[in-house]
Amino acid sequence: MEISLLAFALAFGLAFANGTNDVSKAIATLVGSGVTNYRSAIVWGTVWTVVGAGLAAYVASAMIKTFSHGLVQTGTIIGPTVTLAVLTGAIAWILFASRTGLPVSTTHALTGAIVGAGFVAFAGEGLVWSMIGKKIALPLLLSPFLAFTVSLLIHPAVRTLAKKWEGACLCVMPASRALVAIDTNGRTKTLFQAMSLSQPIMAIPSQCGRAGLQGLVVGLDTIHWISSGLASFARGTNDAPKIVAMLLLGSTTAAWPSTSSQLTAFGGVAIAMGLGSYLGGLRVTKVLAENVTKMDHAEGLSANLTTSALVLASGSLGLPVSTTHISSSAIIGIGLLKGWKSVHWTTVRGMVLAWVVTLPASALLAGIAYLILTRIL
C-alpha cells in the first residue's frame, strides 16, 4: 500500500501533539516534589521519550498490529480519507487539551477517532467491537484504579526507605571499582571493591568527599531521576507505535511498503514527539506538578515508580494503556494518603471530565473531518 505524504505529515503532527500533552506524565513528580526545575525535567523527559519512540520500531510489533488492522474487520476497505480523518480528529482534540492544560490520553483520542471516522465512512460495521473492548477499553478503564491502588501500597515502603536513607548515600567509585555505603553519621561500609587503577576518577560529591572518598552519589533523588527516565522511555515505546500504526490502518498484514518508509515513520514520529515535548510540554506539566496535590520527595518518587512500573509492564504485554490515566491516578492516590483535603478536587474533576469527553469528542472531530475531506480530496 502507498502511504501519502499528507498522511506522514499528519502522523508527525499527531506525534507533536502527543509530546505537548504526554511528556508531563513522567516528569511532573520531579518538579512537584522539588527535585528539579521545569526546564531540566522537560529536557530529561524529551530525551528519553525520543529514545523510546525510536526503539519502538523493534519492540512494538504487537501494538502496531492491534491499531493498524486489529480493530477493523478483515475485508473492510479503509480508504486514505479515513486515515486522514482519524489523524485530524485526534490531533485537533489533543492540541485543544494541551492548550487548556488538560492531561488527556492519546490512546483514547485515537480510539475515538477510529470509531467516529468508521461510523461515518461505513456505519461502524467494519469495526471489531470485541477487540476495541478487550484490547483498548478494558485496559484504559482498569489502569487508573490499578495505579491508584499500587501508589497507595508502595508509598509506606518508599517513605520508610526515605527516612532511613535521608542524609545517607551510595558512592560509586570508578577509580577502584568500588561501591561504598555512607550512613547519616558519615560511617562507611564497602559493599564491593575490585581494584583497577586505570579507571577514571569522577567528581567528588559532598557526602563522599566528607568521608574522604571519590565517586558518584546515588541517593533517593537519583532513583527518582532514573524512574522518570524509564517512564518517559516506556511512554515513547507505548505511544509511538499507536501513531505510526495509523499509516497502516486497515492493512491486513501491517507490513511496510519498504524499510525506508518504516524508518522514516518511526524516526519522524520520534523527532516530532521530542519537539512537542520540548516546545509545548510546560502547560500540562504545571497542572500535574502543582495543581493536583503537594508532594515531597518520597511522595513524588512513589507516584513515579508506580507510573514507570505499570507503563513498562503494559508495554511488554502489548497492552495500550494510557500513561495519562496511570500517572494522574498515582498522584491522586499519593495525595489521598495525606487526607481528602490534600487533593485539589476542582483540578481532578476537570481532568476526569476531559478523560470522559476525549472519546466522543475525538469521534465527532474525526467524523466531521471525514465529511470535509471527502469533498475536497
What residues contact residue 85 under an 8 Å CB cut-off, 6+ apart?
113, 116, 117, 120, 121, 366, 367, 369, 370, 373
Retrieve residue 173's grid coordinates.
Answer: 567509585
Q: What's the pLDDT score for residue 126?
A: 67
Give the integer Cα–Cα distance in Å for 19 and 95: 10
Tell whether the model's pLDDT for residue 159 goes beyond 80.
yes
Which of 196, 133, 207 has its CA nearest to residue 169?
Answer: 207
Tell whether the model's pLDDT for residue 269 goes beyond 90.
yes
* HSE-up of residue 175 (Cα within 13 Å, Cβ side): 10
Q: What's the pLDDT score for residue 255?
A: 61
| pLDDT: which is higher, 237 or 202 | 237
Q: What's the pLDDT score for residue 299?
A: 86
Proportion of the chain above pLDDT 90, given as a percent: 31
Q: What's the pLDDT score for residue 348?
A: 92
Which of 292, 284, 354 has its CA nearest to residue 42?
Answer: 284
- Could you tell me if 32 and 288 are in contact, meaning their C-beta atoms sit under 8 angstroms apart? yes
Q: What is the largest CA-CA distance in the chain?
A: 76
Phi/psi for 75 (5° steps) reads 95, -15
pLDDT per residue over 60-81, tens digit each?
666 676 666 666 666 666 778 8
| pLDDT: which is higher, 69 or 110 | 110
Tell whether the model's pLDDT for residue 273 goes beyond 90.
yes
Question: Mean pLDDT for the chain?
Answer: 81
Q: What's the pLDDT score for residue 109?
A: 92
pLDDT per residue over 163-218, tens digit each?
776 666 667 766 666 677 666 666 767 766 665 544 443 444 555 665 666 666 67
Tell whether the model's pLDDT for residue 1 goes beyond 60.
no
* DSSP E strand stretches across 163-293: 169-173, 178-182, 188-193, 216-218
Q: What's the pLDDT score for residue 135?
A: 65
CA distances from 131 to 72, 255, 312, 349 (A): 9, 20, 22, 29
Indicate the pairing of strand 178-182 with strand 169-173.
antiparallel
pLDDT per residue over 346-368, tens digit each?
999 999 999 889 999 999 999 99
How many helices (H) and strands (E) would you count in the chain? 15, 4
